[in-house]
Chains A and B, each alone.
Chain A
Amino acid sequence: MWASFWQSLGEAFKIIGSGNPLMNEVVATTMKMAVTSSIISFLIGAPLGLLLATYNFKGKKVLVIICRTLMGLPPVAIGILVYLLFRGIGPFGQLRLIFTVTAMIIAQVLLITPVVVGMVETSAESTGKALFETRRGIGLGSTRTFLLMANENKYQLIAAYLFAFARATAEVGAVQIVGGNILHKTMVMTTYIALNYNTGNLEFAVALGIIIIAITLGFNLVGGVLQLIGSRKKKR
């Protein structure tokens, strides 16, 4: 029973070692999509999360509820929404983005941004409350406060970005719908894994699964090292 398992793993590593051009192309498309969508989500979500944690304003609770609702939306629902917006007869159909990497990035940004907002807001909330009196007492301006808040929560921000990247790399439902899994165009690791699994080409699916795990692990190791360096610097 275990023999078949090890055999599949061995074949998968052979495929990885062979440097299959199609696999390299799929990995490159995935990286382009995941890095772009995670950076955009982070650039929108992190400031919004810090804003929600630091300031009280009218409509804040409504915004928090909207974000938390969007956090729980299934990827396929986002995929269908983006599909409806960007398909040929949709309101943005003339942009001709459907079944492109750009459409996949849009879907992922919609999917990941609320999660980044929620993560940053939750982790920075306690800092926001704690520094409120000091900030007001010192008379720190909004920009200075915002930059200080970002500095106070830098490790949480790193964690939020790593999560955004991992989510973007691992997501399959939305990108399948708006990307269409088109060879040499929108095929990414997760959709390629699903395709290979459905066609019985299990070794290819396993090889790509190993690559996804390795990439995510690599990113998290970098994040872990950054946190370690930061905590060591903090010691007197």
Chain B
Amino acid sequence: MKIVAKKTFDRKVLDVNIELEEHKIYALIGANGSGKSTLLKVLSSVINPDTDSSIDIPFKNDEVYYMPQMPYTFDLSVYNNIKLGIPLKSSPGEKIYCKYRIDTMLKTIDLNQLRKANAQTLSGGEKQKMALIRSLVVKHALLLLDEPTSAMDINATLKAEELIQKYKEEFDGTIIMATHSIKQAQRLADVVLFLDEGEIKEIADAQTFIDHPQSDELKDFLQKI
């Protein structure tokens, strides 16, 4: 799939033009302000294409799912928040399967005991767990995750990664995930994209990134983390 995304705001903040294979997990790494979140927002049309931004991707708006870093939690129970991820047009059979998936994921990520709690009373990490399950309930043509585990502890992070991996295996899905952790990229991603000043500077698997960084920007980035 070819992805073209551009955004300017006084200065150039994003200029991405890459060809990616489908059915893979891509980790998007880069320093703060490198354009990771902007790229995901442009791809998901959270930032509407206008004179300052444009996208060209082979998917419709509703085929792309975006989980923001700080997901909004509705004044509903955890379970009902997650159920918002089930498309209204789903058949009864699909809905039953979705509910089964939700139950399984709630147990895997240790959130089942809070399924009836009001979601607005959850901690930051718990909110991320809930939002992650919501994003993994059904298959999306393109799943965009913006630092989905940034507020989780290491145990929860590993379980969240397990869920992401299972989603990819079950649905053969395509995921682009922004992360600050090169270790997470190593554990989870098929391919790592290094973003710097709004441009993709390097594409490789995580190990190659660490062992043989090419650009000075990546070497500098790796030294700092």
Pick the residue among A134, A137, A140, A234 that contacts B120 (CB under 8 A). A234
* A89 contacts the other chain (CB 8 A): no
Q: How far is the CA of A136 from the CA of B68 in the complex (A)?
A: 10
* A235 contacts the other chain (CB 8 A): yes
Interface residues on A, range: 20 to 34
Pick the residue among A134, A148, A234, A236 that contacts B71 (CB under 8 A). A134
A137 touches B44 (CB 8 A): yes
Which A125-173 residues sit within 8 Å CB-CB of chain B?
130-141, 144, 148, 151-152, 154
* B108 contacts the other chain (CB 8 A): no
Pick the residue among B61, B68, B121 that contacts A133 (CB under 8 A). B68
CB within 8 Å for A131 and B85 given contacts A137-B67, A138-B134: no
Q: How far is the CA of A135 from the CA of B65 in the complex (A)?
A: 10
A133 touches B66 (CB 8 A): yes
Stretch at the interface among B26-34, B72-80, B183-191: B72-80
* B117 contacts the other chain (CB 8 A): yes
* A58 contacts the other chain (CB 8 A): no
A236 touches B118 (CB 8 A): yes
* B157 contacts the other chain (CB 8 A): no
Query: Which residues of B sit under 8 angstroms from A138, Cβ to Cβ?
Result: 65, 84-85, 134
Query: Which residues of B sit under 8 angstroms from A235, Cβ to Cβ?
Result: 118, 121
* A184 contacts the other chain (CB 8 A): no
B121 touches A136 (CB 8 A): no
Which B69-125 residues sit within 8 Å CB-CB of chain A?
71-72, 74-76, 84-85, 87-88, 114, 117-118, 120-121
CB within 8 Å for A137 and B75 given contacts A132-B46, A233-B118, A234-B121: no
B74 touches A152 (CB 8 A): yes
- Give the nearest-CB partner of A155 in chain B: B75
Residues of chain B at the chain A interface (Cβ within 8 Å)? 41, 44-46, 61-62, 65-68, 71-72, 74-76, 84-85, 87-88, 114, 117-118, 120-121, 131, 134-135, 144
Q: Knowing that A137-B44, A137-B135, A233-B118 are A-B contacts, what are 18 other residue pairs whose CB atoms are under 8 Å apart, sorted by A's residue number?
A: A130-B72, A131-B72, A133-B68, A134-B72, A136-B66, A137-B65, A137-B66, A138-B65, A138-B134, A139-B62, A139-B87, A148-B74, A148-B84, A151-B76, A152-B74, A154-B75, A234-B121, A235-B121
Closest 3 CB pairs of A and B: A137-B66, A134-B72, A131-B72
